[in-house]
Amino acid sequence: MSIPETSTPEQGRGAPWWQHESLAVHEEQLLLDGTPLEALARQHGTPLYVYSRATLQRQLGRMEAALAAITDRYRIYYAVKSNRCPGVLRAVRDFPGAGVDTCSPREVELVLESGFSLERISFNAGMLSDRDLARVAAHGVHCTLDTFSALRRYGAHVPRGTPVGLRFDPAMTAGYGGGQKTAYGSGKFGFDAHECQQALRAAHEAGLRVDSVHMHIGWGLPEDAAAEVEAAFMRLAAIARRIPNLSSVNVGGGLGGRFRGADRPLSLDTWSGILGRQIAPLGVTIACEPGTFISAPAGVLLVEVNTVEERRGTRWIGIDAGHAINPCPALYGIPLEVVSVRAPLAPPLHEYTVAGHINEAADIWARGCRLPEVREGELLALMPAGAYGASMASDHCLRGQVREVVI
């Protein structure tokens, strides 16, 4: 479909929503921290993830400032599952005080190899095998567990008195796009609040000492879920009050950012305000495990257009990347903005559907993309692409290979 000439060009409305301190357009060129993305794509080939170290550390700094405003006892554990590129881990490691959250033995080993000391690492996972528990226990990492079975079996691998966290179900659903695919409540994660005493007893019988409670609500929480988020953390605080000698409350991740211009994500201020009212009065450390908030805005995925063709009234763009290197659109319905690298600010001329090269009908990156004329051979930038892209890559159709650079 062509866009009527009367439609307002993006250019006329000021800077596009996706620009930020590190991602800018200068003299028609798309730059990440001053580096032209086109040159990087030509140098390294496509598909290429490019991450901004400055953005990663800026986001960590923002979160730290928001927590420092409500408490002097806080801890940020960056969720490694969102992006474990070595340069990304280095950026987190070099940020004073930042820790890492892990969810598998291999992730624990990776962050140890990357130079994180034990006290900067947390571990939080479910449905763990004895092999998993033995490996994590051998490293001495603090674990948060969420089944009676895991408590019982973990106790057999660690010395008596080993501290452990208990994860609780948020008992509500909130997340990006209404939460159908992005909410964690009432699913496989976490004890119910009414199981608290039973879980404490199970931990005690296993020789463990409960020192923390945890709740992760969902992915990409929107601002209009603020009241529900506050109610969930109020329930978490009530659980925390029932546990003697607690040293920390972990509020998980869930903060996102914009994925389309119209998104209204839960703001850092709203989030820290909720924590200030509900969790800070407990007087314990407030821990969190942000993934998306830290890594998503730091990343851009550069791809090459191989096909431009009209079929049944739709203008299709085919690109040299599919859901094997970023399952977010196909799996969760999470959109990515598509920007022309050749002419990032040019007014849109057509609406396109952007499809990947995987043999699956679901391999669609975006529909209804308003772009200037797109030609075969040119580059597109997909963003924000720093979270849950390369880290979730598979090798489906033997197409999983992707390069990553950190600038």
Where on the chain is the footprint of ligand PLP (CB under 6 A)?
A: 79, 82, 101, 124, 216, 219, 252-254, 289-293, 387
- Between CA 355 and CA 361 the distance in angstroms is 9
- Between CA 239 and CA 383 the distance in angstroms is 39
Give the residue with the Cβ less far from ligand PLP, 74 or 352: 74
Least distance to ligand PLP, CB of residue 165, Å: 11
Give the residue with the Cβ less far from ligand PLP, 191 or 293: 293
Least distance to ligand PLP, CB of residue 387, Å: 6
Residue with tokens 């209404």: 178
What's the sign of the alpha-carbon dihedral 297, 179, 273, 71?
negative
Least distance to ligand PLP, CB of residue 337, Å: 18
Range list of β-strands (E), 278-336: 285-288, 299-311, 314-319
First to last CA, the chain: 37
Least distance to ligand PLP, CB of residue 291, Å: 3
Give the residue with the Cβ less far from ligand PLP, 293 or 365: 293
175-to-103, 258, 369 alpha-carbon distances in Å: 21, 13, 24
On the question of a cis peptide bond just before residue 384, with omega within 30 degrees of 0, the verdict is yes
- Between CA 270 and CA 283 the distance in angstroms is 20
The pair phi, psi for residue 282, each rounded to 5°, is -70, -20
Encoding tokens for residue 383? Answer: 């963003």
Give the residue with the Cβ less far from ligand PLP, 222 or 290: 290
Give the residue with the Cβ less far from ligand PLP, 174 or 366: 174
Give the residue with the Cβ less far from ligand PLP, 253 or 322: 253
Q: Name the residue with the smallest CB distance to ligand PLP.
A: 253
Range list of β-strands (E), 247-297: 248-250, 285-288
Least distance to ligand PLP, CB of residue 341, Å: 27
Least distance to ligand PLP, CB of residue 79, Å: 4
